[in-house]
Amino acid sequence: MSRFFTTGSDSESESSLSGEELVTKPVGGNYGKQALLLSEDEEDTKRVVRSAKDKRFEELTNLIRTIRNAMKIRDVTKCLEEFELLGKAYGKAKSIVDKEGVPRFYIRILADLEDYLNELWEDKEGKKKMNKNNAKALSTLRQKIRKYNRDFESHITNYKQNPEQSADEDAEKNEEDSEGSSDEDEDEDGISAAAFLKKKSEAPSGDSRKFLKKLEDEDEDSEDSEDDEDWDTGSTSSDSDSEEEEGKQAAPASRFLKKAPTTEEDKKAAEKKREDKAKKKHDRKSKRLDEEEEDNEGGEWERVRGGMPLVKEKPKMFAKGTEITHAVVIKKLNEILQARGKKGTDRAAQIELLQLLVQIASENNLGEGVTVKIKFNIIASLYDYNPNLATYMKPEMWQKCLDCINELMDILFANPNIFVGENILEESENLHNVDQPLRIRGCILTLVERMDEEFTKIMQNTDPHSQEYVEHLKDEAQVCAIIERVQRYLEEKGTTEEICRVYLRRILHTYYKFDYKAHQRQLTPPEGSSKSEQDQAENEGEDSAVLMERLCKYIYAKDRTDRIRTCAILCHIYHHALHSRWYQARDLMLMSHLQDNIQHADPPVQILYNRTMVQLGICAFRQGLTKDAHNALLDIQSSGRAKELLGQGLLLRSLQERNQEQEKVERRRQVPFHLHINLELLECVYLVSAMLLEIPYMAAHESDARRRMISKQFHHQLRVGERQPLLGPPESMREHVVAASKAMKMGDWKTCHSFIINEKMNGKVWDLFPEADKVRTMLVRKIQEESLRTYLFTYSSVYDSISMETLSDMFELDLPTVHSIISKMIINEELMASLDQPTQTVVMHRTEPTAQQNLALQLAEKLGSLVENNERVFDHKQGTYGGYFRDQKDGYRKNEGYMRRGGYRQQQSQTAY
């Protein structure tokens, strides 16, 4: 009878299988006898009989093994999926668990998984690198496991208190299971499966034995991992009917269902077995090490590292007795360059080979043409040493690069008959024919531009507050010298486009430097010939202003690309502003119209534009033009992202809006630290300019309902200062400006002056200017003038008349200045007053409305706007029915009708004054 027709319970199936219908295969037995008892249809089939308990626990162990594999590769999404399946499988096995108890391997995976998730959760850097799915799965799974583990809290606590004992008991059971299964597997001929496998493993000998050692190690590791997943119960092992899958594993039921040792003798026997097992393992390791030493002594095998094969040894340059000619050297050069860029190429060894080739070429007098060509390739190999764009050159490589470029320039200056260029093809190169000019493919300008970029990268990646940054910054003198040499070379032999490019490099290393020597020469005119020759030579050098003028004008006239011209204009404006040439800088900015289309430029040019506008605003402030300074700095400061817009760092809140690749690109755009503009100085200049503009305006329009804000950031700082419950002495720069603003509101210019100019503010801000004393003098003057205006706006309603001499003494201003300020206020209709020249007094006109009148005016304005809006809504609903409505509607749109009459009345009332 076929097995498919068997019905009934498990006990019925077991009883039916005990007869002649189906005989189970013994693991190590004789298979010839079994074939006679099976039908032809069932020769290739096996019947596995397992209890419900074995099935459920095998399903749990398979899911646990999958979860552990996912934990190893940090796949939290997979862990979440398998954990949900594990919970469902545990629910199916609930009836068995109630009888037998919770399996220890289930408690172990719950405890390990919770610890693993807590570890991932605390790893902040690792969480940032996770993808979106894994991060979401981590949060979900962490909540689920914490909630799920509350039902097993006591079991998990016991496991965590003594995890080693649990592992030892599992290992002991596995040892007993393996021994029991090996005893039962012996067949009639007395050959067991273990003995058979042992004979098979002893078959390979000699060299091939080494290749099987790794497999043995992997088998041991897999056995250990399976031991960790074993389940420990007190039930007896009953059936030897369980079978292995295709001969790979023996009797899982007998393995799982062994009895735990209970008596003292059993415990001693188990302890002895563990010691024997550890001893055997130690003997196997020592034996394997001895065999490896013997093989190494024999010299037959060698342990190698995994991965791509690297260049092990330097290839021989030339065979012995080879005649060194131009063709041989160029052929060897091409062989070396063929490996360039390939994976596994040792770049350092390649550079050494090229340097060795240069020596061989110079020793055999092959000419400067070959030397120049190899030098070009050496410099290119030095640039390619770091394949990653973000990494920067090591100091030794950087120094090699500078030396090599200098040597190349020496050769080019010493040999005017050598021509290099990108447009020269390799087929048309002339490396050795001296009768004709030597022509070599290569671009010296490209190498210098790459050198400049590498220098910027080195400065970006160095800690600006360390001595190492200062040491690297000293190399800028060498970089500028090389650029200057290339400039002289290209002025003789380069094209117009190349000259514009090298001029821009020279400008970029000049525009941000304050020329102290030229500034000193302006302050102190030359006196006699008492100076040393060195000082005279320094003074005879070209001023940076003259140099910038010459280089930029050439670019303005000859350049055909918008980008180079735009950068040159911005650098020129920056240099003018840095040296307090406000009107030249302003005129150049307005004539260039850069502000109209700068938003279409690339980010580095936009950063340069922002830096230029900031420097322009600071220059206007030094000149006392507070309104121009405020307008220039308004866009940068009002955004709240001045640090990011100037390329001086990334904001933490913006880091969350971009991914890792975008962050790397942003960091490569950052300006090196020695080009930074002091952000505290920038904010202080902006806030002081806003204070000098806003405080008089607030005093003049105190009762105006439609008063607008000149600076939102300044008002924000004032509100922050007003909300403070306890007002102490100011500490930060912002607090000093807020305190000064409150004093200026009251017309107290001396208190305002003491808050703006003191030792703390001098150290933080004012001493950073080149001419600090002039800036402080200008500030005192502006504070006095604006305090006078504020005082007149605030207290004009109190006075009938006031003497200008009194105002002059109060604000320590000379009489003509006071007269000028009051006259401007009267002309601009800011102050309703008149001047009495004989008595030098200001006579006030009582035109200021009272508080009640102000409220009435505001009500009238609001009612007027309400009527106008009502008429517009009515016209929109009714439409136009004729000329009357059209004229009336148009009249309202043109501010005629009601508003016109109101305006007329207002004008009439003003003329009455």
How confident is the model over 225-248, as pLDDT tens digits?
444 444 443 433 334 444 444 444
CA distances from 447 to 121, 378, 412, 479 (A): 48, 11, 14, 12
Q: In a 10 Å sphere around its CB, with 0-12 CB exposed, 13-18 middle and 19+ buried, how is residue 388 labelled? A: exposed
Asked if pLDDT for residue 37 goes beyond 70, the answer is: no
- Let me know: does 13 contact 239? Beta carbons within 8 Å: no
Calculate mean pLDDT across residues 514-526: 74
- Residue 21 in this model has a pLDDT that exceeds 50: no
The answer to whether 913 and 849 are in contact (CB under 8 A) is no
Q: What is the pLDDT of residue 10?
A: 45
Q: Residue 745 and residue 741: Cα distance in Å, rounded?
A: 6
**pLDDT score of 401 more than 60:** yes
In this predicted structure, what is the pLDDT of residue 586? 92
Fold of 678-844: Arc Repressor Mutant, subunit A (1.10.10)
Question: Quick check: 530 pLDDT over 80?
Answer: no
Q: How confident is the model at residue 185 (pLDDT cuts 50, 70, 90)?
A: very low
pLDDT digits (tens, 9 = 90+) for 655-693: 566 777 788 888 888 899 999 999 999 999 999 999 999
Same fold, 326-519+543-591 and 678-844: no
CA separation for the pair 801, 821 (Å, rounded): 16
CA separation, residue 740 to residues 228, 689, 735, 737, 785 (Å): 74, 12, 8, 5, 14
pTM: 0.60
Task: Look up residue 392 and give its amino acid.
Answer: Y
Fold of the CATH domain 326-519+543-591: 1.25.40
Identify which has the larger pLDDT, 523 or 2: 523
Does the CA dihedral 146-147-148-153 come out positive or negative?
positive
Most confident of 139-153, 413-427, 650-664: 139-153
Q: How far is CA 847 from CA 387, 662, 826, 908, 911, in A?
A: 77, 61, 13, 14, 12
Which position has the higher pLDDT, 876 or 25? 876
Q: What size, in residues, is the chain?
A: 913
**How far is residue 868's CA from residue 470's CA, in Å, rounded to a whole number?**
69
**Hey, which residues does 841 pair with through a beta bridge?**
803, 836
Using CB atoms within 10 Å of the CB of residue 418, give its burial: 0 to 12 exposed, 13 to 18 middle, 19+ buried. buried
CB atoms within 10 A of CB 232: 16
* Whole-number average pLDDT of the chain: 75
Tell how strand 418-421 and strand 438-441 pair up: parallel
User: Per-domain residue ranges for the chain?
Assistant: 53-161, 326-519+543-591, 678-844
